[in-house]
Structure formats: structure tokens, C-alpha cells
């Protein structure tokens, strides 16, 4: 595997930004302690989103995502999303447009990544879990599956938990559009034959547990290919390092 720190200009954000990318390397003869599973065809790709207090470096620093991804021979793209909740912000950048639309095009331009829907996946933790599920529900033609770990599942309730960040995203009155509400989006896409597979995981001691349970009930009331897993755990990297392995197995095996 190769690890790339890529600086690029985003037309959506109108600024230079940074993306970390793990990409398979075709030949690694002589490398000790790893198994090379790079494929000859264009790579499947996972877009992996960070949480509210983090940045594009955090998955590499807090987990063994490179080692986990190598098992499947996939590319992993880790963009910077700020504190945007992956929205086109009222007071900030157009992070939804950047992550959901511009970034996949750029990554397919720069790397040997498949453009096929069935080869593109998105996941994240906390704020990034919300962003991943939202992007997949709204961009059904582009992503076949999404996973949220310890997600901010109920964005309306989150306005009470993260008011400062969400004022920047949605405006001073904290009015959440229906187009940003996972419950509404899940209902709207229920009859769409292209709707994504969904995975959710959360710890039973997580402060966001009840919101995840509510969204679980919503998906279970609808006609989704839906997987849910919970176990003892808090809003912590010990939990997320464990669960990203479940996510990769669910996506790629």
C-alpha cells in the first residue's frame, strides 16, 4: 500500500485543501509482514469521514486503517471536512458539494479508482457517520453502501448538543432542512431501487446511543438492506478501531 498526502484545489470550496489517500501498490516484493492483495482492475474505494473535533489525518493516527484496507486491496480516501457536518454551510464552505460530488471525480482523475457505483462506498464516525449516511442516501447513483459508527443520527436533536457548529452549518436559527435529516431522507429513498445498503454501529454507553436506536427503528420499518450492531463501548477510538474492521468486512467480503 502507498500512503499519499495530497494537496489540491477545490472549486466547490474555492480554496486549497488536503486529502489523505491509501492506494494499493501492485508489486511489493520483499516487504515483510504484509500480504499484498492489490487487484489488476480499477480499485474499489472507501471515502472515510472524520468527526467534529478531528481532521483528515485522524483515521491514520488513531487506527490501523492502512493495514485493514490492505486485506481487501481497496483505496481509502480521507478528506478534510472541517466542522461542517458535511453540509453546504450557511456560514462556511460547500462541504457537501465537495465531498459528495467533486471529490470522487478528482480521485478518479488522480488514481486508478473505479467510477462504478458498485465499487464506491462511504463511511464515517460521529459527525462523519451522519455525513456518510446522508451522502449515500442523497447520491444513490454514486455510492452503493454507507456505514455510520457512533453517528450523529438525529441531526435535529444535535442542534442542542453542538449549537455553535450547527449554527455555522444551518444558520443562526438552527433550522434543519428536511434535505439534511436522515429520517426524512431514509423515507424519501425507500422506493428507490438504487438506495444504498446501510450499516450502523454504536456503543451502548455512547451519549449518541438513543439517537442511533431511533434511526435503527426507522430503517427497520422500511425496505432497506440494513445491518445494525451494538456492543459495550463509549464514544472512543478503542471502539471505532474495532468497528471499522466490522465495516470493512461487511462492505468487501
In the chain the domains, ranked by start, together with CATH numbers, are 2-25+35-252 (3.40.50.1820)
Band the pLDDT of 7: cuts 50, 70, 90: very high
Mean pLDDT across the chain, nearest whole number? 96
> What does the DSSP assignment read for the chain?
-EEEEEEEEETTTTEEEEEEEEE--S--TT--S------SSPBPEEEEE--TT--TTHHHHHS-HHHHHHTTT-EEEEE--TTSTTSB-TTS-BHHHIIIIIHHHHHHHHS-B---GGGEEEEEETHHHHHHHHHHHH-TTT-SEEEEES----HHHHHHHSHHHHHHHH-TT----GGG-HHHHHHHTTT-TTPPEEEEEEETT-TTHHHHHHHHHHHHTTT--EEEEEES--SSHHHHHHHHHHHHHHHH-
What contacts 165, CB < 8 A, 6 or more positions away?
Answer: 52, 83, 85
Residue 64: how many CB atoms within 10 A of its CB? 13
Band the pLDDT of 221: cuts 50, 70, 90: very high
The separation between CA 185 and the C-alpha centre of its own chain, rounded to angstroms, equals 16
pLDDT reading at 139 higher than 80? yes
What's the rounded mean pLDDT across residues 40-64? 97
The sign of the CA dihedral 133, 137, 140, 142 is negative
Band the pLDDT of 175: cuts 50, 70, 90: very high
Nearest residue to 132 (alpha-carbon basis) of 47, 189, 17? 47
What's the rounded mean pLDDT across residues 174-190? 97
Q: Give 250's strand partners.
A: none
What's the rounded mean pLDDT across residues 202-206? 98
Amino acid at each position: 500500500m502507498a500512503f499519499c498526502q495530497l494537496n489540491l484545489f477545490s472549486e466547490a470550496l474555492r480554496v486549497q485543501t488536503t486529502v489523505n489517500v491509501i492506494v494499493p501498490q501492485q508489486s511489493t516484493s520483499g516487504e515483510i509482514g504484509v500480504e499484498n492483495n492489490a487487484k489488476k482492475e480499477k480499485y474499489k474505494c472507501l471515502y472515510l469521514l472524520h468527526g467534529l473535533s478531528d481532521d483528515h489525518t485522524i483515521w491514520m493516527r488513531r487506527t490501523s486503517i492502512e493495514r485493514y484496507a490492505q486485506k481487501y486491496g481497496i483505496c481509502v480516501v480521507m478528506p478534510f471536512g472541517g466542522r461542517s457536518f458535511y453540509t453546504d454551510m450557511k456560514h462556511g464552505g460547500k462541504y457537501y458539494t465537495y465531498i459528495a460530488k467533486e471529490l470522487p471525480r478528482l480521485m478518479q482523475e488522480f488514481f486508478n479508482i473505479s467510477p462504478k457505483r458498485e465499487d464506491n462506498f462511504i463511511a464515517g464516525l460521529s459527525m462523519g457517520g451522519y455525513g456518510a449516511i446522508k451522502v449515500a442516501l442523497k447520491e444513490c447513483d454514486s455510492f452503493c453502501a454507507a456505514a455510520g459508527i457512533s453517528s450523529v443520527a438525529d441531526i435535529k436533536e444535535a442542534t442542542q448538543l453542538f449549537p455553535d457548529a450547527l449554527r455555522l452549518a444551518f444558520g443562526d436559527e438552527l433550522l434543519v432542512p428536511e434535505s439534511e435529516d436522515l429520517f426524512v431522507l431514509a423515507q424519501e429513498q425507500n422506493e428507490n431501487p438504487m438506495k444504498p445498503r446501510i450499516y450502523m454501529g454504536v456503543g451502548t454507553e455512547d451519549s449518541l446511543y438513543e439517537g442511533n436506536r431511533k434511526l435503527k427503528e426507522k430503517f427497520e420499518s422500511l425496505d432497506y438492506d440494513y445491518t445494525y450492531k451494538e456492543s459495550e463501548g463509549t464514544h472512543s477510538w478503542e471502539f471505532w478501531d474495532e468497528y471499522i474492521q466490522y465495516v470493512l468486512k461487511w462492505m468487501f467480503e
